[in-house]
Amino acid sequence: PLLPFLAALVYRWVGIHAWVGRVQAVLLFTASLPFFFLLVRKLLGGASACWALFFYGFAPLGIMASRCFMPDIPSLSLSIIGLYLFLRWTETSRPHLLLSAAAAISLAILIKVPTALIGVPLAVLAFERFGFSALRRPALWLFGAIALLPSLAWYWHAYRIAEEFYPYHFFGAGGIQLEPFAWYWRIARLTVSSSLTVILVALAAAGLFFGKKETSPRLFRWWGGAMIIFIIVVGYGNRHPWYQLPLVPIAAVWAGRFCGAAQLFVLTRPLLRVGSVAFLLGFCVLSYTKTKLFYRESAADLRLLGLELKASTPADSLVVAADYGDPTVFYYAERKGWHFLEKSGMYNGHPTVSADAITDLESLRERGATHIVFYSATLWWLEYYKELADHLNSAAILQVSTPRYKIYQLR
């Protein structure tokens, strides 16, 4: 957990602020830009690299993730840096490039384990350069050891921690799960319409089939195929759009290939120049509008509820939160507790009937719960589950009531 560790160190000097975590993502995203450009220039030339960099920098999903206190962009950025350094090593055989690439890939996987998919384009580069003799090269075995052994040790340790300590949950467990077709159709639809925009997807599709045959970067074709398999196999885990983040550089490369190949043809025709400018302006407008969707204040009421809990409850309070498993209320309240309904310390969905909610609440009260809270998206529980509302009238005192949340103190 490198990012929260570094943030915790900085907190000691500047206090706890979300920008500390966001800055890490911004800096590592920025650091990846020249390496991404150099990587694409090596494979496709300068014109395609400029276009690819433009699309990589302004895809909505990339804009959102590169400003978030999350490990996804730092991990992706380090993998792109490692991929470029590895490509340079295959050309020069300089040991410092191999060691630097291995260190970058190792950190990328340590930060977020699905980034191990970067092994697919790395393998493509190795086999393109050395053929099957790559399997007999000590340098590549050293690279693999540096890139993978620290992660194997860390994730084994993390798994043992999850086994020994409440709530006995290894983060990400359950993500490897096939889902119905409608699930994947939703992911595809959101990827095209929001995460990348329909214009970037159209250009990337064109780049797959149109362009100079000698400039077809197979490593991105294989990386894209590996991502599709990952999305299918880790179906439930891909409910979050940032798990598809590697599609941003992949799509950007293919879109850049098409634009780079078409550039000379377009520049010699005035009408096509005007159309191309309008097309790119359309991408910018789409990117702006779709990026705004990622910044909808879906948890604003949870934040207000958390701040109210922090101000009006003792520091040792244990809170039962009807919050659909969103941790926002606990973060801003600086209180511990449970998502409601609860099972083995994890959110277990909303009640089927009132009896489920009452049983769960009483179980948590026996374990020390002092408050139960509802916010705007769960206030309907108090109307729909009549018996639960009646039970709260006798088992709790309504401490704070607003149109956006309610706080009950358990008797």
- pLDDT of 354-375, one tens digit each? 999 999 999 999 999 999 999 9
371 backbone dihedrals φ, ψ, rounded to 5°:
-140, 150
Take residue 365 and report the two structure tokens written for it: 């009260």
Q: Is the pLDDT of residue 278 over 90?
A: no
pLDDT for res 297: 83
The pLDDT value recorded for residue 213 is 65
Mean pLDDT over 169-197 rounds to 91
175 pLDDT higher than 90: no
Residue 16 has pLDDT above 70, yes or no: yes
Write down the pLDDT at residue 298. Answer: 81
pLDDT of residue 215 exceeding 70, the answer is no
SS3 334: coil
For the stretch 365-411, pLDDT in tens is 999 999 999 999 999 999 999 999 999 999 999 999 999 999 999 99
> How does pLDDT run across 218-243, given as a tens digit for each residue?
899 999 999 999 999 999 889 899 99
pLDDT at position 317 is 97
What tens digit of pLDDT does each residue of 42-72 get? 999 998 999 999 999 999 999 999 999 999 9
pTM of the model: 0.90
Residue closest to 309 by CA, chosen among 275, 337, 350, 272:
337
Confidence tier at 274 by pLDDT (50, 70, 90): confident
Mean residue pLDDT across the chain? 93
The answer on pLDDT for 216 being more than 70 is no
Whether residue 271 has pLDDT greater than 80: no
Alpha-carbon distance 160 to 168, whole Å?
Answer: 9
User: In the beta sheet, which residues pair with residue 402?
Assistant: 405
Hey, what long-range contacts does 169-174 have (CB within 8 A, 24 or more apart)? 169/344, 169/345, 169/346, 172/113, 172/237, 174/236, 174/237
The C-alpha atoms of residue 45 and residue 43 are separated, in whole angstroms, by: 6
What mean pLDDT do residues 8-24 have? 93
